[in-house]
Structures are given as C-alpha cells and as structure tokens.
A and B are shown apart, each in its own frame.
Chain A
Amino acid sequence: MSTQRDGWICSFALLFCAASLPMLAKASLLQELGPQEYFSSLQAGRASLAFFSRSASPGAQPFLEQIENSVEALQDYGISVVKVNCPKEDTSRYCGKENALRKAYLFRGNMLLREFPTDALFDVNSIVANVLFALLFNEVKYVETMADLQNIENSLKGKSNMVFAYVPATGTAEHRAVMEAAFVYGTAHQFVLTTEATLMKDPGYDDPDVSSARLLFCHCQQVPELAQPCRRTPMEQPVTLLNVHRHLKLMGAPLVTEVAEDPEKVSTVHLQLGLPLVFILSQKETYEADRRTAEFVAWQLLGKAGVAILHRDAVDLNVLLRSNVALKMPHEGVPIKYLVLEDTDEVISLVEDKSKLEQIQEDKDEEEEDEKENDNQDIQDDQVVEAVSRDRKRELPLEQILTLTEETFPSAMLDPARLVVLFYASWEAVSLAVLRSYVEVTDHLQGTEGVLLSKVNCWDWPGVCTKENVTQFPTIRIYQKGGRALTYDGMLGSEELASFIVLSQVSCPLKLATVEEAEGYLRGELPPELSSYRHASVLGVFSKATSAAREAFLEAGSSLSGHVTLGMYFEDDALALSRKYAVSPPALLLARSGDGSVEGIALSKQSAQDIVHMIRHELLDTFPEITVQNLPRYLQLGRPFLIMFSNGDIGQMESEELLKLAKRRPRRAFVTCWLNLKNTPVGHGILKTYFTTLPSLPVLVWVNLHAGGQVFAFPPGRSVTETNVLSWLEKLKAGSEIPSSTLSEEDWKPPLPAYNFLQMMETAVPEFTLRASYGRGDPQEPQPPGSSEEKAPIREEQPEEPGVAAEKGQSPGRDLRGTAPRLAGREKRHSEL
C-alpha cells in the first residue's frame, strides 16, 4: 500500500512543480541563437517556440519578459524557447518582415505548427495554454456546437472516457490547467474544450454558472449502446491543475473497492486524496444486493467519497451485527464509525452533509478537548475566589473594625453608637471580597461620628448569626439606637456602603416643621454631614387629612433609608406649599440636584410599595451617564437602550440633542444614556462585542437588551441630532436596518465538566450500579467496554486486598505521605504504586 501511495505523491509533486517552479526561476534559460544556428538545432519531434528579434527592437520588450518567464514552464513539456537574434541585413522569412517580428512561432522539428501574435501571449498562463493547445491539437478537441460535442461523445461510447472542459476564454489560468492536464492524461481520456457557454446548458449540468470554468468527466467507456447517454461527474472544485488531477485520479479509481481485511488498515485513492471512504458491510447471503447498493451509492458519491464493500465473513469485526455502513475518515487516528442506516439517502447525506462530516471529525478533536478540559477542571475559574485567594497572605488593616464574638456581640449592641456589623464566613470568597471593601469604608467614614464598624465571623460564631437570622453571607446590618436593624441591600462596594451608612443616619423621612425649612430642604439645605452624599431631595407634602398616605410615605421612607434623602411636611399650610408647585397634597416635590427646578408629582397610589417604586423611578436621570454602579436601576425599566459611547465627556451638541430626545413623550420608551469610556473602561469590552472593527468614537448605539438583543450603530457620517436619530429609530422599527450584531442568547452552562465519580465507581464497584439500575426503571445506557477505563483511575490496590496494599506500601521514606497527603505534595496516589 505504502509504495503505491508514495507513487501518487511523486507524480503529484512532479506536476505541482511543473506548474509552479517557472514562476520562481530566472529567465536565464532562454537561449539566444542566430537564425542559422537555430534552424540547424531543430530536432525532429521536438517542439520549440521561437521569437525573432532585431537588436534594440523596443516594442517587443514586455512580451520578451513574459516569454522569459514561461521558459521553464514550457521546458517541462519538452518545449524549448529560443530568442533568435536576426542580423540587421537578414531578410529571410522570419527575420526580414517587420510584422514577423511581432509574432512567435511554434515549431515541431522544423515544421511550423503555429504562429502566435504577441498580444495573444500576454502572460505565462496564456503562453503555456496556447502553446500546449497548439501542440495537443489532436488530443484536445475544440467544439463550438452541441452537435459537435454529441458526435464526439457518441464516437467514444464503449471505447474511452471523455473530459469535457468549459473555459470562458482561452489563454486563462483555467485554460492552461486544462491543457496541462491534457498533456498528462490526453492519451487516457479524450479531452474536449469549449468556450461556448451554451454547451454548458446541457441537462446533465444544471447549474450553468458560465462566469467560471467547469470540467466534467463523462463516463463513456462503460456505455454499451449509442442511445444511452454517458454519465457525467462534474468537478465541484475550481479548475486548477491540482483539482483536475485529483478529479481524474478519482474518476480513474475503481467505482467500488472490495475489502476483505481489517478496514482500519485499508487505504484507497480516496483516503489518500483526503476524502472519506464509505464501507458497505456485506455478508455472503446478501452480497449481490449489497454490491448493487454499493454501486448505486458510489455513483452518487463519485468525486466526494470512495465506496468499498467490506466482507464481514472474511473479517472479524467487533461491531454490532445490525451495523450496515461504516465511515472511515481520511484523518489519521479517527476511528471508523459504524452506523445503522435505513437507506442509501442517509449514506449520501452522511457524506454530503458537511456538518455531519465535520462532527465526526470533531469527535476526535472533542475528545482531545475533553482531555484538555479535564486538565483545566482543577484550575480556578471563579474570578472572585481566585482574586481573594491571591490576596490571602496580605494582612488586612482591621484595627478600626471591631471583631465581635458570641460573648461581645450583646454588649456591643448596647453601645450608644450606631453599630454596623458585617456577618461573614472566613472561608467564603464573596465574604472576604466584601471584607476588603469594608476595610476601605473606614477611610470613607473618616471623621464621621457615632458609627462603629464591626464584624462577626459566622464560621466562628454560628450562634450569633443564627440568632440574628443571618442565613447568607455576607450580610451587612446597621443596628440603630433603639435596636432597630437595617439590612444593607445595596451594591457591595466601599463607597456605596459608606454613603448608605451616612445617609441612613438621618431619619427618613426627615420631618420638617415650617414652610421655610421645607423650602430650604428643597434648595438642598441639609444636615452638613450629608452634603457630600446628596443626590436629589424628595419632599412629601401631606395635608392633615391624608393620614393613610402619610403612613405609607413613612413606611416607604424606612425602606428607602440610606438610599435617598426624604423630607416630609404635613403642617396646616401644606396646601399652600404644594400649590406653589401646581399639585395638591398628598404630593411629592422633587428637587433634582444641579438644576434647581422643583417638580411636583401627585401621590395617586397609596401603598408604601408603590411610593417606593415611584420615588425610585422619579429619581432616575433623564439622560444619565451609565456606570457599573447605576446600570441595574435603568435595566429594571426593561426598556431598550440608546447609548452613546464616548471617550471622555460627551460633546455639548450631542448632549443637548440627546437630552431633547430623552425628554420626549412617552418618557422612557427607551433609556437614553451615555457611557464615558474613561470612567467606565469596561465599555471597551462592550464595543468589542458589538463591532468586529471598532467604530470611531463617539458612537451612538441602539441595543435592545431585553428582547432580541439586536445592536444597531447610528451611521457614522450623520450628525447626532434629534431628528436624525428619530428617523433612524423609525427605520430600525421598520426593520430596514441591518444590526451590527446580536447579543448571544446562550444560557450560562457549567463552564467545565465535573469529575464523573459515578462512572469511575461503576468501573470499580459495579455492584452499586448493577443492583440499583436493576431496580431503577431507566437503566443507564451501558458504557462501551473500555471507554470509561481511561477516565477512571482505578486504584491498583483494591480495597478488598489490604494485605497487598500494605506490602506495596512498605517502601521506605514515605512516612507521612498516606496519613497526611497535604504535607506530601500533590502526587497522584495511583501513580505511586
């Protein structure tokens, strides 16, 4: 087998060299002779291409270059190329006439075969194609009409096969490829060439894409009678010398190979050429039918896969008796797949369906990948756990944080200061990450009086945590004076927590006694310690009568405590105050920080929950800068995002235009916002996902995060104005824009597989699975023998044989290894034995 294979490679390589080497070689092989010399050197049967020139004939220069380039290519076909230098005085047939100097002449022996105008020889391809075309005049028939083609085909029936090539034009690379193939195979098959596209409209060829060359193999040799047409096998690949060679090799191979040996060892032309081999599994009894099936399939798969009949009687196959088809992939190391298929279509689609083929190929890759993945199983892929464990050796500056125990916790509760307690577990990564932020809170609270930061390790003191009803780690709680506890439910970051601790200090809502106080509150006059944390002021205004709404507002206040500042006014002149802002009590007056305007909102809903929801909603900015911290608030709206990504501050004009857009009614049909890549560098990651090539900044993007996940970029050239954006949004709505990307819908699957202990146990302690699966209604699929063994490291000393194990263990110097594996490093125990 292997010698045959080598043979293929040799001939293949030779052809390949023939095609490509001349390009690299210098034109030094061009002979320069005088006319007498030349004509006397011509040998009978040898072809030569001659070009006559007078010295310093300028027009011929580019042509000469091309000729020089093709010298070597032509030499491979035994054609010498000669530049004949005509003496000035020479007036012979070739040297004398001016127009003869514009031509090249092809001789065989001293007979002139053809003269080429130099403009037909514009490059190496055209030179080789035209020269070979002329030389192979008999081997390659040129046809122009269907009748011609039919005649040739008929004449060949029962005698030899035909290679029919269509090239859109002569002198092209495809033409050259066909001619070069004809040079090699011209004696084996009849070559027919056409440039007529109409001939390709033959019913046997249903996809006449006439812009590119095509090649058909017509199986005429096996056709016994004239009336029967020759089967045709089109070459699917582009017409290149290599492909043609490959195609003809495949056509030359036997239709169905008979195999009576181990299929793993079989090699055929198909496999060597990188095509799969389909085995039809056959038995003596069914051989005839199987042979017919195999031939049928082989015709269908001609050029795509090889077909062989595998005689089961002759080979000891360890496969299911039901299997009737096997597939061998050309890739080394891919095991043969045995399949049970219903009909021949399945066989064909098995090969033709590329995805299926790839899947089979990938099986092996996957296995390798699995192994790779298995290697990664013990590598930490949790960013928080890994970050914390890399930080574990650093001593945290915990001086300012009181460590409470079961004994000290109750007394700490009696401390007049507000007690902030972090309940955590010292082994838990998120807890430890939060503990590190918690340490930073002390910096933020520098100078804040009356706050005591403390922590309780629930791993040491589970009693305290159970008593305080802490079931999750970490939990942060603020114990106010009077024993009221406030559980922190905000972002687990130092700034946010510090802000919460400070804000929750003041009562929420803050009861204001006079109109002046209320007005001052709306202007932003707050207790000084809050000044740096203020965001917006919300004032609830109630008349004496609206006690239900007031109660609800009070309740809402307690659940918003620490997140916002709330004021409350319910004196007699509340009506007057609210009138000023065109609402009547109960109402909310909202003073956003910055612009000084006050908005009045009627409190129509009465439940505390509604009020909380309403306040949270009203506090959202109209055109916010999106940050890691505030995104969730806007995500909760469940709206699409119109977001401007900007590297640094957003331009004045864009900002104003987008703000106008954001203020349009209905409000919050979508979230208009922007992202400063300088403040939120992770925005680069977003852009990278949205765009394969990063667009210029700033870029306005529409992304529907909640439905469909389509991402659209505002056309770069257009200016961001309200009208432009609106009309663009209209187009988006109409579906006339193409999304630049769509967000992955992928579920969050386990990143890596787990150790399959069940499978390992099945191998080692089968009684567990056997007995149980008998009892179970749905026994697991039996594992193919051997497949699980690689994965299950079976301890060599079986537990049933402690004596053996003890003996094995008696090698010296292993004192602690078994008792304390941690001390002894990470050797795998089974490898030690």
Chain B
Amino acid sequence: LSVALCAGAMRCAATSAASLHHDYCVIGAGPSGLQMAYFLQRAGRDYVVFERGHVPGSFFALYPRHRKLISINKQYTGKSNSEFNLRHDWNSLLSHDRRLLFRRYSHDFFPHADAMVRYLEDFAALLELQVQYNTAIIHVTLDADPEAWNGHYFVLTDQNRQKYKCSSLLVATGTWVPNVVNFPGSEYVEGYETVSINPEDFAGQTVLILGRGNSAFETAENILGVTNFIHMVSRSRVRLSWATHYVGDLRAINNGLLDTYQLKSLDGLLEGDLEDLAIVKDKKGKLHITLRYYLENRNTSAGIDSITLPQDELDNFATRAPYDRVIRCLGWKFDFAIYNRSLRLMPGKGNKNKYPQIKPNYESRGTRGLFVLGTASHSVDFRKSAGGFIHGFRYTTRAVHRLLENRHHGVPWPSTVYPITQLTNSIIKRVNEASGLYQMFSVLADIILLRENATAFEYLEEYPTGVLAELETQTGRKAANGLFVIIMEYGKNFSGADKDVFYYNRAVGEAQHAWQSNFLHPVIYYYKRLPTEREMRLCPPDWPLPRPDAIHHIVEDFLTDWTAPNAHILPLRRFLENCLGTDLRNFFAESCFLFAFTRQKLPPFCQQGYIRMQGLVGTRRLQGHAMEAGLLENYTVTDFAGDKLLSSHEGSQDQDHTVITRQDHTMPVRPLQHVVNAKDE
C-alpha cells in the first residue's frame, strides 16, 4: 500500500516508516545520472535520482581546479544538422529541448566549469527530473526476493538512515576518490584537490608534479610562468591525445610543459615508478627525492643527514635539485566503499582498477540489475573511445535505457522498417550525421536486421557491439536472416602513444584501398547469422567484432562527408548488392517499363516503386544525361530509323540510307544491354 501511495512522490519519504520503493534508483545527479533520469522520465518510469549535493553536478563545482573544461564546445560547423552538430558539442546532454544545448551556456571553445554547473542545474530543472538532493547514499545492500525483477531488491541507505528499496540500481557516481600513492614522505605531498590555484603562491619555487594526465599538465600550465622549474614524474610515458585518438590522454591545450621541456627551458619530464620513491624534507623545508630502497632500514625522522640520497652515489642524478613543493595529480577512482560485499562490485584489472567491473551491456559482473553509467562505466572502452566522457556516455546511457526498456517493460529496441531499396540510403544518412556512432566509435553500432528474402530491413541505432551475440534477447528483435553492423573505426595501428600520426600518405583517397583508411571512417560488417558468444569471446583483442562474412570500409574522408556518389556510395552499394545477391540500382520508370515487358523478374527498385505506381519518371534533361552516359537507350532518336526498319516491307528503301540509319540505330544499344544484361552471363 505504501508503495502505491508513494510511487513517484518524493515528499512522502520522510513520513513513510517502511523503506521507499522505486523501480529505478539512480545514484548521482551528475551528467550521466541526469541523462538517465531524462530517458526514464520520457518513458514514464518510476525512478529517483539521489544526489548528495544540493545542486546537480557537484563534482564540476570543484573540478577541474583551474576551471577550464577541455571538452570542446563548437559554435559553428557550417551545418544546420542538429545530429551532426552534436559530434562537435562535447558537453550537451541528449534531450528534445533545444534550449538545452551547451552552446547557449558558453561561447568558449573550452568552457568554464561553472557553465557546466549551470547547465546541469537547468537540465534537471527544465526537464523536471526527479532528483532528491542532499541525499548521500552511504550503503547499498541486497534483499533477495524471488518476486523482484532481478531476484533481489537493492536496499539503499542514506545519511539519515532512510532506506530505499529499488528494483534496479543505476550507479552514476563517477570517479571522485583521489588516487593516492603511499611512499615514505608522501605526507609532504599536496593533492590536486587542495593545492593552491593562485600562481603567485608558486613564484620562484621549484615544483615536482606526480602524474602525467590532464590534471597534472593543467596544474603545470597554471604555474609554468612563475616557477623556477617544474618536473613531472610518472611511471608511463606521456600519451598525447592527438596521437592516440583518445580524448582522455593529454590534450594539446594543456601541453605547454612539453614545449618548455623539449626546448630545454628548465622544465622536464621523468619516468619512474612512484612506488619506489621517497621524499625527505631537509631542515630548510626543501624536499629531496630519494629512493625507498635507501630508506629500507631507516626512520625518516632520523634526519636528512643520515639518509642516502641518490646523488651521493650518482652525482648527476636527475632530480638531485631539491623541490619546494610536490603536487599529486594522479586522477580519480570509483568509490567502492558504499557497496555491501554481497553485491560483488569488484575493481577492474590492471589499468582499469579505478573502474568497477562491468559487462559490455554496462551491467555489473557481480550483481544482476546493477548498471554502471557515466565515467565509472569507462572500463568498457577505456583508452579507446569516449565512454568516460559526456559526449560518449550520453549515448551509452541511452543504450542502457533501451536495454532496460526491453528487459523490464517489453518495449523492444526502437527500430524503423524500410524497403530494401532504402538500404544504401539509410546507411549513408547515418554515417554522415549520427553522433553516437561517431563518438562511441567501435563501441556502439547501428544494426541492420534483414527480413526474409531481403526485401525489407529493420534499422536499430547505437546498440552496444559487445553484446551483439545477445541481440535478440537484449532488443526483442529477430535476426534470423542476416545482419549488417555499422561502426566507425580508426585504422589499425594508426593510433598510439608512440605513433607518428603525421607521416606522409597517411590518408587514403581511393575507394578500393578503403580498408587501409587511418582516420575515423565507417565500416560495415556483414554476418549471415548472429555471431555466437563464443565467437565474440575469441575475437582478437584489437577487433571490435569477430570475423564477418564480408566487410566494407567506406574510405576515410577529409571532411567526414561520405556522400560522394562514386567514391563512397557506389562501392557501398556494390558491397550491399553482393551480400544480398541482388541489384540495388535505381531506375527511371522507362527502364522499369522495359523490364516489366521483357523480364520475368524486376529489380527491387522497380518492384517497390514503379510496380506500385511510384515510378521515378525523371525529367527529359535527366534522361538525356543518362543516355549520354550510355545507361539508358535513346529510342526517340532511333524512332525514325526504327520506322524505316520496321516498315521496310512496304516499299523499297534507299539502300544507303537504310544502312546509315541502321548504324545510328545500333550504336547506342550496347551500353543499355550492359545495363539490362549486365549479369546475364
């Protein structure tokens, strides 16, 4: 009864003694939490978003410390296509409301973080999303119940001991726990979260920064002009986003220190394992770098003099100069603390240990019904695509919502059915404007499910490639007659921290070499049947999908405009034709008329157009062009000649004349026969 009374109404929470039930509970009102709330709201679902702050997006109220977002906010693209323009708008969330485009909130190409806070506030308010602020979820546990959607309810406890019972839990908490390294002397290290952002505080100082990500460079950038010099140390080499094609790597906007290092202007980069490090403070308060190894049997408090410094043995040791400050900029990790062990929400392996382990459908590996959204879900495409960033996870969040709609409400994945004649068009349209495919390249895919006899097809947008094998159960659609998977890819071995992405002839122009394209370009996989889970598992690590029955690359394009009739559309059409074993050309009504009288079967275009009285008549001028091209026979010109030939029995004709007209008559025949009989042999 209480459930019924309180459904959807937050205000009764305080008065209700029993735990409150919601179908969907979202933890965190950051970009991904709000994005999910939007979709749940539009679908009319029972949901609530818990936010510990009093406004949404509290992370952005603090971070980035220097307040400059590095996600681009492009004002102009020269195009009015709103879907296309989202490709270059990395901050907006998806909604139907045109007021909620980020470019209305900031004109800066790299906007101020406050704009994001304002934007998220508006997003929640204008769309009237159900956000319960000032509610910090401090514990999550399971309550087994065979009646529940997933065999259990999620029981959430907030800071006021209020319990919430949720059928499905959507974790959108992001990664906000600072990564900390412990080594002798780490107490002298200042954290990114608290370090001064006033450059004056660094005037004349020598600074060591731990870490090599965007926050480290952002910090360095801020103080570059006032310090004596900055050294930056981390285990791995610097990874430049323009070389790796991964937006999470070092962006060019922050890389001033690379300049000063390479130009020998005192700043520098070093590689070394922070675990081996030790910091010793001398009496003047200067910080000296040494190695943990030297401290093995010593007490750091014993005093600087008793400690061996590397330069004692190696007098040209690189970091022998003492530092005034050491700053830790090591990024963030997911907060695992609030989840009861029974949820088995485990950290990922290796460099993904800052994220919880999830399946390619964003569901926790340990608990059914727990989905991870937003930045925390980045383990799916870490260091590959944009799933950890707004311009990526806004699409994966939508995908999760669609999966949930199918799983819990019997609403199949949205799709459109088209006649087969629209096959080439529907692909060209999507690869040219779709932003989800473009941002979440190789992670989200458009799927074309062929209907029987390939006379029609069903188009599904932005389905997660990782769960392709489960397509039928995850979407409620049938894939019995083969399918196309459309994704976008960079060239294999083109991207990488150590790759030269500027080498000559890096771009392919010829359609026939399209498979060697390096920059982001559409790739279409054809499967006669759905790949099995085993095939998905055995897929080579760098390949998004298992071996298809056929594959097509649309050649990379400098303008990312894949509408060229000969270089882009024609090879695609040939590929589709050969997969389907049919002829997908367009024909004027006159050609269909001829085929209708001279062939027992008609090509799909005539079958689905002309025969249904929707033939493409065309204009005289167009027909003239087709005739010039030899793709349509001109019978009007030969009418006279034909006349002579056909009626020659009526009287003797001038021999020469007949011969000449006859030649005129026969000349243009060949090309059309080519059209008509192209594959007769």
Judge whether B596 is part of the interface by a CB distance below 8 angstroms.
Answer: yes
**Chain B's nearest CB lies how many Å from the CB of A544?**
36
Judge whether B76 is part of the interface by a CB distance below 8 angstroms.
Answer: no
Judge whether B602 is part of the interface by a CB distance below 8 angstroms.
Answer: yes
Q: Are B601 and A747 in contact (CB under 8 A)?
A: yes
**Chain A's nearest CB lies how many Å from the CB of B437?**
14
Judge whether B286 is part of the interface by a CB distance below 8 angstroms.
Answer: no
Q: Are A628 and B590 in contact (CB under 8 A)?
A: yes
Query: Given that A460-B81, A821-B507, A824-B509 are contacting pairs, would A385 and B586 also be in contact in the complex, using a CB cutoff of 8 Å?
Result: yes
Q: Are A818 and B505 in contact (CB under 8 A)?
A: yes
Judge whether A775 is part of the interface by a CB distance below 8 angstroms.
Answer: yes
**Chain B's nearest CB lies how many Å from the CB of A443?**
11
Determine the residue in chain A with the shortest Cβ distance to B80. Answer: A460
Judge whether A387 is part of the interface by a CB distance below 8 angstroms.
Answer: yes
Q: Are A757 and B569 in contact (CB under 8 A)?
A: no
Q: Are B551 and A761 in contact (CB under 8 A)?
A: yes
Q: Are A799 and B491 in contact (CB under 8 A)?
A: yes
Q: Of the 9-residue stretches A484-492, A510-518, A574-582, which lies at the interface with chain B?
A: A484-492
Judge whether B226 is part of the interface by a CB distance below 8 angstroms.
Answer: no
Judge whether B284 is part of the interface by a CB distance below 8 angstroms.
Answer: no
Partner of A826, one of B425, B509, B591: B509
Which residues from chain B contact A492 at a C-beta distance below 8 Å?
589, 609, 614-617
**Chain A's nearest CB lies how many Å from the CB of B454?**
12
Judge whether B83 is part of the interface by a CB distance below 8 angstroms.
Answer: yes
Which residues from chain A contact B534 at a C-beta distance below 8 Å?
775
Query: Given that A471-B418, A757-B514 are contacting pairs, would A689 and B598 also be in contact in the complex, using a CB cutoff of 8 Å?
Result: yes
Q: Are B583 and A750 in contact (CB under 8 A)?
A: yes
**Chain A's nearest CB lies how many Å from the CB of B510?**
6
Tell me, in angstroms, the Cα distance from A479 to B552 when the chains sit together: 41
Q: Are A817 and B505 in contact (CB under 8 A)?
A: yes
Q: Are B546 and A387 in contact (CB under 8 A)?
A: no
Q: Of the 9-residue stretches B110-118, B305-313, B386-394, B427-435, which lies at the interface with chain A?
A: B427-435
Determine the residue in chain B with the shortest Cβ distance to A678. Answer: B639
Which residues from chain A contact B594 at a C-beta distance below 8 Å?
682, 685-686
Judge whether B199 is part of the interface by a CB distance below 8 angstroms.
Answer: no
Judge whether B339 is part of the interface by a CB distance below 8 angstroms.
Answer: no
- What mask results when residues 39 to 83 of chain B are scored 1 for a CB within 8 Å of chain A, else 0? 000000000000000000000000000000000000000011111
Q: Are A383 and B588 in contact (CB under 8 A)?
A: yes
Judge whether B262 is part of the interface by a CB distance below 8 angstroms.
Answer: no
Could you tell me how many residues of chain A have their Cβ less than 8 Å away from some Cβ of chain B? 126
Judge whether A459 is part of the interface by a CB distance below 8 angstroms.
Answer: yes
Judge whether A694 is part of the interface by a CB distance below 8 angstroms.
Answer: yes
Q: Are A681 and B679 in contact (CB under 8 A)?
A: no
Q: Are B647 and A430 in contact (CB under 8 A)?
A: no
Chain A residues 510-552 with CB under 8 Å of chain B are: none
Query: Given that A494-B619, A821-B508 are contacting pairs, would A749 and B587 also be in contact in the complex, using a CB cutoff of 8 Å?
Result: no
Q: Are B425 and A425 in contact (CB under 8 A)?
A: yes
Judge whether B178 is part of the interface by a CB distance below 8 angstroms.
Answer: no
Judge whether B585 is part of the interface by a CB distance below 8 angstroms.
Answer: yes
Partner of A391, one of B514, B547, B622: B622
Tell me, in angstroms, the Cα distance from A472 to B510 when the chains sit together: 29
Judge whether B349 is part of the interface by a CB distance below 8 angstroms.
Answer: no
Query: Given that A632-B610, A632-B611, A826-B509 are contacting pairs, would A773 and B571 also be in contact in the complex, using a CB cutoff of 8 Å?
Result: no
Q: Of the 9-residue stretches A90-98, A142-150, A432-440, which lies at the interface with chain B?
A: A432-440
Query: Given that A746-B599, A757-B551 are contacting pairs, would A437 and B586 also be in contact in the complex, using a CB cutoff of 8 Å?
Result: no
Judge whether B565 is part of the interface by a CB distance below 8 angstroms.
Answer: yes
Tell me, in angstroms, the Cα distance from A120 to B587 when the chains sit together: 69
Q: Are A809 and B503 in contact (CB under 8 A)?
A: yes
Tell me, in angstroms, the Cα distance from A803 to B502 when the chains sit together: 11
Query: Given that A755-B511, A755-B571 are contacting pairs, would A631 and B617 also be in contact in the complex, using a CB cutoff of 8 Å?
Result: no
Tell me, in angstroms, the Cα distance from A775 to B536 when the chains sit together: 9
Which residues from chain A contact B578 at a C-beta distance below 8 Å?
750, 753-754
Please name 11 further chain A to chain B contacts, defined as beta carbons within 8 Å, in addition to the given A384-B616, A385-B565, A800-B493, sorted by A numbering: A377-B574, A383-B631, A429-B586, A433-B588, A440-B619, A635-B611, A647-B643, A703-B597, A747-B582, A772-B540, A799-B492
Determine the residue in chain A with the shortest Cβ distance to B576. Answer: A754
Judge whether B185 is part of the interface by a CB distance below 8 angstroms.
Answer: no
Which residues from chain B contact A793 at a C-beta distance below 8 Å?
512-513
Query: Given that A385-B569, A462-B82, A745-B600 are contacting pairs, would A632 and B646 also be in contact in the complex, using a CB cutoff of 8 Å?
Result: no
Determine the residue in chain B with the shortest Cβ distance to A802. Answer: B500
Determine the residue in chain B with the shortest Cβ distance to A439. Answer: B619
Tell me, in angstroms, the Cα distance from A684 to B642 when the chains sit together: 7
Interface residues in chain B, defined as those with a beta carbon under 8 Å from any beta carbon in chain A: 79-83, 416, 418-419, 422, 425, 428-429, 432-433, 491-494, 499-500, 503-516, 534-535, 537-540, 543, 546-548, 550-553, 558, 563, 565-566, 569-571, 573-575, 577-578, 580-583, 585-591, 593-594, 596-604, 609-619, 621-623, 625-626, 628-629, 631-633, 635-636, 638-639, 642-643, 645-647, 649-650, 669, 672, 674-675, 678-680
Residue of B491, B540, B563 contacting most chain A CB atoms (<10 Å) = B540
Which residues from chain B contact A631 at a C-beta distance below 8 Å?
593, 596
Q: Are B618 and A772 in contact (CB under 8 A)?
A: no
* A/B interface sample: 27 pairs, CB < 8 A: A378-B512, A389-B565, A405-B80, A427-B432, A429-B586, A436-B622, A459-B81, A461-B81, A489-B614, A628-B615, A689-B597, A703-B597, A745-B600, A745-B601, A746-B680, A747-B601, A749-B679, A750-B574, A753-B578, A775-B546, A776-B546, A799-B491, A809-B505, A814-B504, A818-B506, A826-B510, A829-B516
**Chain A's nearest CB lies how many Å from the CB of B678?**
4
**Chain A's nearest CB lies how many Å from the CB of B57?**
27
Judge whether A614 is part of the interface by a CB distance below 8 angstroms.
Answer: no
Chain A residues 416-452 with CB under 8 Å of chain B are: 425, 427-430, 433-434, 436-437, 440
Tell me, in angstroms, the Cα distance from A819 to B557 when the chains sit together: 10
Tell me, in angstroms, the Cα distance from A806 to B505 when the chains sit together: 9
Number of residue pairs across A and B with beta carbons under 8 Å?
A: 378
Q: Are A686 and B625 in contact (CB under 8 A)?
A: no
Determine the residue in chain A with the shortest Cβ distance to B556. Answer: A821
**Chain A's nearest CB lies how many Å from the CB of B342?**
35
Q: Are A758 and B551 in contact (CB under 8 A)?
A: yes
Residue of A493, A695, A800, A821 contacting most chain B CB atoms (<10 Å) = A821
**Chain B's nearest CB lies how many Å from the CB of A429?**
6
Tell me, in angstroms, the Cα distance from A773 to B508 when the chains sit together: 28
Q: Are A751 and B577 in contact (CB under 8 A)?
A: yes
Q: Are B565 and A429 in contact (CB under 8 A)?
A: yes
Q: Are B591 and A746 in contact (CB under 8 A)?
A: no
- What mask results when residues 89 to 129 of chain A are scored 1 for a CB within 8 Å of chain B, else 0? 00000000000000000000000000000000000000000
Partner of B602, one of A380, A493, A748: A748
Query: Given that A425-B429, A686-B597, A819-B558 are contacting pairs, would A754 and B418 also be in contact in the complex, using a CB cutoff of 8 Å?
Result: no
- What mask results when residues 592 to 622 of chain A are scored 1 for a CB within 8 Å of chain B, else 0? 0000000000000000000000000000000
Judge whether A34 is part of the interface by a CB distance below 8 angstroms.
Answer: no
Q: Are B550 and A758 in contact (CB under 8 A)?
A: yes
**Chain A's nearest CB lies how many Å from the CB of B543?**
6
Judge whether A463 is part of the interface by a CB distance below 8 angstroms.
Answer: yes
Q: Are A750 and B581 in contact (CB under 8 A)?
A: yes
Judge whether A768 is part of the interface by a CB distance below 8 angstroms.
Answer: yes
Partner of A757, one of B552, B581, B587: B552
Rank and list the top 9 A-B pairs by shortest CB-CB distance, nearest first: A809-B504, A821-B509, A493-B617, A772-B547, A775-B538, A427-B563, A681-B635, A750-B577, A799-B493
Judge whether A767 is part of the interface by a CB distance below 8 angstroms.
Answer: yes
Q: Are A750 and B582 in contact (CB under 8 A)?
A: yes
Tell me, in angstroms, the Cα distance from A405 to B494 when the chains sit together: 40
- What mask results when residues 680 to 720 of chain A are scored 1 for a CB within 8 Å of chain B, else 0? 11111111111000111100000101000100000000000
Which residues from chain B contact A463 at a C-beta distance below 8 Å?
82
Tell me, in angstroms, the Cα distance from A405 to B636 when the chains sit together: 41
Determine the residue in chain A with the shortest Cβ distance to B617. Answer: A493
**Chain A's nearest CB lies how many Å from the CB of B674?**
8
Q: Are B617 and A629 in contact (CB under 8 A)?
A: yes
Q: Are A828 and B570 in contact (CB under 8 A)?
A: no
Determine the residue in chain B with the shortest Cβ distance to A386. Answer: B629
Q: Are B633 and A427 in contact (CB under 8 A)?
A: no
Partner of A822, one of B509, B587, B612: B509
